[in-house]
Amino acid sequence: MTLHAAYDPDNIFAKILRQEMPCVKVYEDDLALAFMDVFPQADGHTLVIPKAVTARNFLDLPSDRIGSYMQSVQLVCRAVETGLNPDGLILTQFNGAAAGQTVFHLHFHIIPAYKDRGLKRHAGGEMAQAEILEGHAKRIRAALP
């Protein structure tokens, strides 16, 4: 898909926002929703999406929403660090299919990195079990202010 196309209101993240699809929620405020990636690259892989916008990627996000959205991303990132105690954190965001984007609703990935464990492939592998995702989410939620 091109970088600039019409927003698809039936993408999986839009359905999650409308509560038509489930998610393992980590955090929510008026501007953002954070939840566990069901195809995690590492234990604790969390996604943060903006609410009330039809932004396919970062280029589509209205400028006046960037600061508040990124504050939510940072808040969740800090909770992932505190709750899971990784050796490092990968914060990434893809713009367009050619860059690796697979869901066309803006989202940031927060991926814990551990010295002794490699990462799984992006958007591949097996779907994680809900109980495992909930265990990670519980630890992250407990670390939120």
Owner of token pair 């501007």:
31
Q: Quick one: which H or E segment has residue 47?
A: strand 46-50
Residue 49 in contact with residue 106, Cβ under 8 Å? yes
The residue from 45, 105, 107, 136 that is catalytic is: 107
Q: Is 109 one of the annotated active-site residues of the chain?
A: no
C-alpha 103/C-alpha 96 separation (Å) is 9
Residue 137 in contact with residue 25, Cβ under 8 Å? yes
**Could you list the active site residues?**
107
